[in-house]
Structure 1
Amino acid sequence: MENRIDSPIHPAPSRPQLPTESLLRLLQLTSPTLPVGAYTYSEGLETLVQQQQLTTAEALERWLGLELSHGAIRLEAAVIFQGMQAIAQGAPATLQYWNDWLSALRETREMREQSWQMGRSLHRLLHTLEPASAEMLEACGEHCNFAIAFAIAAQHWQIDAQTAVLGYLQSWVSNLVTAGVRLIPLGQTTGQQILLNLSPILEETTIAAQALNPDAFYACGCGVAIASMNHETLYSRLFRS
């Protein structure tokens, strides 16, 4: 009989478990009830649906997956990691740099104003709920991008950076799936299936964004930019972008 030594089984590494208070703050930060107006934006989806480019659940899922893998949302996730590190190091100038960088990244006026409006809303909310975060909030100036305000909240509430970014991406996908359910239209169960199917890509994007070198910060989302620019010419509109 052949002798064989079995290799020991090593369990897959697990994400650190959040303390209950931090978990509750993350759920609050990613909740659709957070008063930042995310539900009013479709980020070009409305244009794509009216142009018959997105007409099925499969098309919506593929579009969202490509955006996560190659689009600007991947860079927002990477900047949250950079922003949380700057806050932890007490470096407001670095945080301001990344805020300005995100503003310059926006390819259309609608996308830029969306980020500023949502960031401004979260900025005001944090001023009231967490006055101790004021120094970092003020470092961003008048136009604070939502991803930066999110990073400030996550760091202040001691949320693990990887978990915070995963929550940010999940919230982004949930909002656009909801938009797709209304626009295409799709059933609620179908929307939930899309969310479930995208779970692996959400985790992959989070891990990739954390490892991404700032010299490699690039995105490929020209289709989204064109859809956003055409949004204002639509015959009827439900969303602001």
Structure 2
Amino acid sequence: MNAASLLHLLQFASPALPIGGYSYSQGLETAIEAGRVHDAASAHAWLVRYLDEALARWDAPLLWRLLSAFAARDTAAIAEWSACFLASRDTAESRAETVQMGYSLTRLIAELGVADVGLLGGEVTLPAAYACTVDALDIPHEEAVLAMLFAWTENQVLVCVKSVPLGQVAGQRLLLSLRPDLERTAVTACTLPDADLSNWSPGLSMLSMRHEVQHGRLYRS
């Protein structure tokens, strides 16, 4: 990957991107509230299971397919995989999360003149907006998937640092320990056949529904 692509990737995959990623915990806040995540070891177990059972088998593989669809300028495939991702958000707050962040990223790249957002239509999901950005900036797809996974993990670790709470050093140690899991998830995402795609994660759905009525929330999911 050339320097320009690397710098673009670091910018647009960063949790610091002003699209609201920091305001979501994706069920982790409720898991902490329920005591399922309460220290570094339980945080590590939570993140590994989330990577293996949710991101590796659904979110990241759909991003991989969206990247390929944008590269081929296949509007039908873009619409199909975007609709699949949106349909898989089975609670109000998880649906609102991807739509809000997808909308914000679409507006950002349009205002910056980074990409032509004409291939994005209707309710834009975050993976679709991210794939559009990656395609416009000529970022290699494998690196784009890995960066997305790292950004998600970094954001989750920050939730743990603030809410468990873990210390800053413990948070960085946790992030370092997840390197092989991130690599494994990326490989799975880029090679998983359509027949093996699965968004079966009822535990996460239950946590999301509980979060919608949870008192004293810091995060929006």
TM-score normalised by the chain length of structure 1: 0.88
Partner SS state of residue 53, structure 1: coil
Quote the residue 2:132 is aligned against: 152
CA displacement at 1:156 relative to structure 2: 1.0
CA distance in 2, matches of 1:72, 1:111: 14
CA distance in 2, matches of 1:37, 1:112: 14
Question: After the TM superposition, which of the residue ranges 164-173 and 102-111 deviates more from structure 2?
Answer: 102-111
CA displacement at 1:71 relative to structure 2: 1.1
Quote the residue 1:112 is aligned against: 95
In the TM superposition, 1:38-117 aligns within 5 A as 38-72=21-55, 74-117=57-100
Structure 2 residue 173 is matched with structure 1 residue 173: no
Structure 2 residue 13 is matched with structure 1 residue 30: yes
Any conservation in 2 of the 1:72–1:221 contact (CA below 8 Å)? no
Quote the residue 1:219 is aligned against: 199
Quote the residue 1:185 is aligned against: 165
C-alpha deviations, 1:20-71, integer Å up to 9, x for none? 1100000001223211100001111111111111111111111111111111
Question: After the TM superposition, which of the residue ranges 97-106 and 64-73 deviates more from structure 2?
Answer: 64-73
Runs of 5+ unmatched residues, structure 2: none
CA distance in 2, matches of 1:77, 1:155: 16
CA distance in 2, matches of 1:219, 1:198: 22
CA distance in 2, matches of 1:205, 1:132: 28
Partner SS state of residue 116, structure 2: helix
Any conservation in 1 of the 2:56–2:185 contact (CA below 8 Å)? no
C-alpha deviations, 1:84-131, integer Å up to 9, x for none? 111111111210111111001112111111011111000101111236
Equivalent pairs: percent with the same residue?
36
Runs of 5+ unmatched residues, structure 1: 1-17
